[in-house]
Structure 1
Amino acid sequence: MIEVANRLHTVEEYYFSKKLREVNLLIASGKPIINLGIGSPDLQPPQKVIEALTNGLLSPNAHKYQSYQGLPELREAMAVFYKTHFSVNLSANTEILPLMGSKEGIMHISMAYLNEGDGVLIPNPGYPTYQSVTKLVGAKPVLYELDASNNWLPDLKALEQTDLSQVKLMWINYPHMPTGAQATETLFEDLVAFAKRHNILIVNDNPYSFILNDTPKSILSVKGAKDVCLELNSLSKTFNMAGWRVGMLVGNSDQINHVLKVKSNMDSGMFYGIQKGAIEALKCSKMWFSTLNSVYQKRRDLVWQLADALKCTYDKNATGLFVWAKLPGNVKAEEFIDIILKENHVFITPGTIFGSQGEGYIRFSLCASTEVLEEAIARVK
């Protein structure tokens, strides 16, 4: 039998890949499962985006290989988007790299910068892909703990009491997933200074800025940030385009070129029609965000009622596409969600999949209609 690569022994199959098989089997057996686990938007993209994709299919360029760097007009739209919403100036020619979703960027950045044994600071709780990709490239995860007492922000003073000599890269993610915590301007300034002191590349993963949040922030707005920071962004949540796979990496030209060297060896460019649709999405006015968030506000109110029915507590100031809720007493997250799935046919994400600091918490997705959420409330009551 042919042995698999050693790197496969360092990671497990993604939690949702496994758990959704179980959920789908329950659905196939006739169980009326309500899925509040996945952050996959159920709403439609703007109509003009769909029209741009459709029209793009008729272009003589549609079926050709596309540029590894994307259409010039897509990069220009991304530059205008960052200037408009984050007050960040970017060169469309040299400081923006379109991606097939920001998840791709996590792998490309890691491959561009990490050698075997390099340390990587990873939030706990945090997006599981940061840790799995770190392991796949042979680097060493160095978890930094976040907790409610510090509003789920990193304690940089405590970090500087540890040995950072082997650390090369740090993942941050604000607005934070899964907790919905927001970074302050001061935190971003402190992170830039921290990165410069320790020669660490900081990458902010920033796909949730516009969901139930009136103050979107980019770490690149901080003076000197481009020297030591990159930022990932995505159209998945902001424009309901998760399946389209459109993201971007922004930062200084040298760092972008390093990542491009990896990317250009791994794909052949984004489909033309999708790029044309993305351009239209990035041109949306603030009315789009207001309309989108009015829907999510109604849904979040219902999810809060659901959390109340389950005797959970939560932070009403949190933002993003989820509600992060603390379970009562010493209830174990995975045991709790399995009971709710079995008895009430409602699937909720256990906080433990985001790290040990997620024990005692669960995460609800807002990607379900008000009718479905009302049904979930009725079931658990």
Structure 2
Amino acid sequence: MIEVADRLNTVEEYYFSKKLREVNLLIANGKPVINLGIGSPDMRPPQKVIDALVESLQDVNAHKYQSYQGLPALREAMAGFYKEHFNVSLSQTTEILPLMGSKEGIMHISMAFLNKGDGVLIPNPGYPTYQSVTNLVEAKAMFYELDETNNWFPDFKAIEKQDLSKVKLMWVNYPHMPTGAGATEQLFKDLIAFAKRYNILIVNDNPYSFVLNDSPKSIMSIPGAKDVCLELNSLSKTFNMAGWRVGMVVGDSNYINHILKVKSNMDSGMFYGIQKGAIEALKCSSMWFVTLNSVYRKRRELVWKLAKALHCTYDEHATGLFVWAKLPPNIKSEAFIDSILNINYIFITPGTIFGSKGEGYIRFSLCASEEELVEAIARLK
């Protein structure tokens, strides 16, 4: 057997990749599992998005290789979306790069800016991919702890006690996953000031702004952000298009050009029809968000009842696609969710997959129907 690269020894198979095999095995054996673990929207995209995709298949250029930078009309729609919803002005030519999902961007950005041994500040709890990609490019993960007593915001005084001399990149994610904490304008200002003090590139991963959130924010709206910040965004949660794999990275043209060097050597551009559908999604009126959130609001109220049935507490002011719930004292997250899965056939995510600060918490997804949530509550009773 040929030995694998050393970098594979630094990462494990993604948690949901492994756990869903266990869940699917239960289902295959006839167990009626309700999946409240993964954040994969179960509703359809806007109808005009699907229509645009179907109609595009007859276009003469539909099945050719596409530009690494996407259609000009797609970049124009992305710029218009940022202007309308975040009051951020972006050059569609030089400051936006479409991505095949924002997860792709995490790797591209890391490959563009990190050398072996460079430090990367990663939130704990936080999205596991930040650490995995950091390990794969042989950079050094340096965790900064988030805590509910500080609204899940970075403690800059604690961070500055570390040796930051080799830190080059900092991942932030607001609205925060998994906790649902929303950013303030002051937090973004503090992040930008911190980045300038230590010459660090801040990347805000921002796919949850429009789910159960009355005040969407972008770090790019703060003066000086383009000097030291990038932002990732995605259509996955906002428009129920997770499987379409449409995202973007925005920022200063110099940063974007560096990322393009990586991207252009790794893929050949997004399928034409998907781009045409994405353009229509980005043009949706505010009524789309009202309708979407009316569904999620009803589901969230049921998930709150489910959390109460499990004797958990939660923050009613949190936003996003999940409910982050605190377990009663001295209960371990993974043992707890395994018990619920094997006895009640309800799959919930343990907080520990997001880092050590996730111990004692569990995360419910809102990507299940009201009927399924009512059934889950009934099973616990």
Alignment partners' CA distance in 2, 1:85 and 1:107: 27
Using the TM superposition, give the Cα deviation of residue 127 of structure 1 relative to its aligned residue in structure 2, in angstroms.
0.2
Alignment partners' CA distance in 1, 2:294 and 2:317: 16
Q: 2:256 corresponds to which residue?
A: 256
Mapped pair 1:88 → 2:88: yes
Alignment partners' CA distance in 2, 1:378 and 1:147: 32
- Identity percentage of aligned residues: 81
| Structure 1 residue ranges, 4+ long, deviating more than 6 angstroms after superposition | none
Structure 1 SS opposite 2:183: coil
Q: 1:354 corresponds to which residue?
A: 354
- Contiguous gaps of at least 5 residues in structure 2: none
Q: 1:28 corresponds to which residue?
A: 28
Amino acid at match of 2:71: L
Q: 1:241 corresponds to which residue?
A: 241
Using the TM superposition, give the Cα deviation of residue 158 of structure 1 relative to its aligned residue in structure 2, in angstroms.
1.6
| Count of aligned pairs between the two proteins | 381
Using the TM superposition, give the Cα deviation of residue 254 of structure 1 relative to its aligned residue in structure 2, in angstroms.
0.2
Deviations 1:267-303 (A, max 9, x none): 0000000000000000001000000000000000000
Q: 2:293 corresponds to which residue?
A: 293
Q: 1:218 corresponds to which residue?
A: 218
Deviations 1:285-341 (A, max 9, x none): 100000000000000000000000000000000000000000011100000000000
Q: 2:131 corresponds to which residue?
A: 131
Deviations 1:10-58 (A, max 9, x none): 0000000000000000000000000000000000000000000001111
How does the TM-score come out when normalised to structure 1?
1.00
CA RMSD of aligned residues (A): 0.4
How does the TM-score come out when normalised to structure 2?
1.00
- Contiguous gaps of at least 5 residues in structure 1: none
Using the TM superposition, give the Cα deviation of residue 361 of structure 1 relative to its aligned residue in structure 2, in angstroms.
0.2
Alignment of 1:51-200 (within 5 A): 51-200=51-200
Alignment partners' CA distance in 1, 2:190 and 2:221: 13
Alignment partners' CA distance in 2, 1:300 and 1:121: 32
Alignment partners' CA distance in 1, 2:368 and 2:169: 36
Using the TM superposition, give the Cα deviation of residue 161 of structure 1 relative to its aligned residue in structure 2, in angstroms.
2.0
Mapped pair 1:337 → 2:366: no
Deviations 1:156-202 (A, max 9, x none): 12211221001000000000000000111000001001000000000
Amino acid at match of 1:364: F
Alignment partners' CA distance in 1, 2:82 and 2:266: 27
Alignment partners' CA distance in 2, 1:190 and 1:34: 41
Structure 2 SS opposite 1:265: coil
Amino acid at match of 2:130: Y
Structure 1 SS opposite 2:367: coil
